[in-house]
Structure 1
Amino acid sequence: MATETSTSLRFAVLLTVTSGFLDAYTFISRGGVFANSQTGNVILMGIDFSAGNVGAALAHVWPISAFVVGVAIANSLKSPRVKRVVEHPIRAAMVAQVIVLVAVGFVPTTVPDPVVTIPIAFVAALQIGLFRSVRSLSYIAIATTGNLMRLTEAAYAGFLRKDLEARKNTGVYGAVVGGFAAGAVIGAVCTRILGHEAAWLAASLLFCTLVLFYVDEQEAGRSPARHRRAA
């Protein structure tokens, strides 16, 4: 079965590591706001509103709004009309994320936090709107709750019901969940050491996903019988 670069486990792990990294990065260095986890932003927004901290609550509203806009645009990129213009929308989304994160690394913490959190949330929404599968399995790169649930279900079926396919899926989801957790740890450590410039490390991780497209295309050219395609 052909495996597209964007649905490979390598690609998924790189994305989830970066997502965990960015949530830790923005939470520590950008006013306690999550870059990707809009569930966390909604909860913190509600807490701030309940305490009468309107300004703090609005800091969570802006990335949530940017995320909604990003998902809408991602859906438009999947339309046949737009695909004729943007041949590789997934790669375009990855390039946009890299550019945003490189730019963010130059923005000092004295600048208002929405200047950073809004564009990061927007490009994260493009990502989740364009690809949400690893191999044939559904997953979410920017959050871990759903992935953790699927990991538990796969482990239950694999080891208690002796389902061999579910055991394989357990490994996939384990890598995705572990990647997100590892990214959060790495992001927290790097942000405390490097400050706002830690965003460049996240950009480097995402740049590796672009390299994967090139590597897979070269491999497909050398071994056409394997039918490996890059999205």
Structure 2
Amino acid sequence: MSIEEKQATRIHFNMALIGGYLGTYGILSRGGNFPSAQTSNLISIVTLIIGRDPLHLLVRVGALAIYVSAIVLCTWLPRHTRVRLQELSLAISSAAVLISPLIPLTTEPFLALYPLFFATAFQWCSFKAPRGFTCATIFSTNNLRQFSSAAAEVWLNHDESFREKFSFFGGTLLFFHCGAAAALLLSLAFDVKASLFCLIPLASAWYQLEAAAHRVTAEQTA
């Protein structure tokens, strides 16, 4: 594995930890709602349309619009600006974790998660997995499938060519759920203010991105 791939993998694992932390924080602090995906929200929108609950429907549609807007923005920015998406993603996530504790606990839970919906969707689109893998850092269903299939190839089919995939997806799951565990422990102690502790891995990711950019610049000028 090259130095560049090692750096990219460390950043990916760091972002998986952040994804696990933010997702679990959202679940624990805002009524069990997961801010990193839209599957359950889309189902809820359908049921609310049928059930004719306009107020809750509006809140859910708003969450969907915010999530989609982050994806659209990530697609538009690289073609029209020189902004560095990954650094912008870290800035957005930092703002989200600073804003979240300021939202009253009496606020409708889905409405309170609007900052995290935007931040997690932006992270998903900004950080592409290294080494040719397709691996999200904000949820785990596909990662679990990839890890399980790679494990079966290595241990049952004795195909060592899948060991790298097994290790990569296993590492992603490990860091994601370490973030989830940290969010649980800190939420028990600090409630909604636990989001502030996510600034630590965010700072770590920022440092690693700057180190990677400095290395590339040094290589280009050498």
Quickly name the TM-score band, shorter chain normalised: 0.7 to 0.9
Alignment gaps of 5+ in structure 1 = none
Aligned match of 2:191: 195
Aligned match of 1:133: 129
Residue 82 (1) aligns with residue 81 (2):
yes
Q: CA RMSD in A?
A: 2.9
Alignment gaps of 5+ in structure 2 = none
Q: Per-residue deviation at 1:52?
A: 6.6
Give the direction of change, closer, same or farther, for the CA distance of 1:25–1:45 in structure 2 (3 Å limit). Answer: farther
Could you report, residue by residue, the CA deviation over 1:157-209 in whole angstroms, capped at 9, with x for unpaired residues? 22333333311210110111122223223222322321111111123222210
Q: Per-residue deviation at 1:57?
A: 5.2
Q: Per-residue deviation at 1:94?
A: 1.3
Aligned match of 1:172: 168
Aligned match of 2:212: 216
SS at match of 2:137: coil
Q: Do the aligned partners of 2:66 and 2:114 also contact (CA within 8 Å) in 1?
A: yes
Give the direction of change, closer, same or farther, for the CA distance of 1:165–1:95 in structure 2 (3 Å limit). Answer: farther
Distance of 1:63 and 1:50 partners within structure 2: 19
Aligned match of 2:90: 94
Could you report, residue by residue, the CA deviation over 1:18-40 in whole angstroms, capped at 9, with x for unpaired residues? 22222221222223322112224
Greater helix content: 2
Residues 134-143 or 104-113, more deviating = 104-113
TM-score if structure 2 supplies the norm length?
0.83
Could you report, residue by residue, the CA deviation over 1:96-117 in whole angstroms, capped at 9, with x for unpaired residues? 2112212223333234445531
Residue 108 (1) aligns with residue 104 (2):
yes
Residue identity opposite 2:29 in structure 1? S
Residue 185 (1) aligns with residue 186 (2):
no
Q: Per-residue deviation at 1:58?
A: 4.7
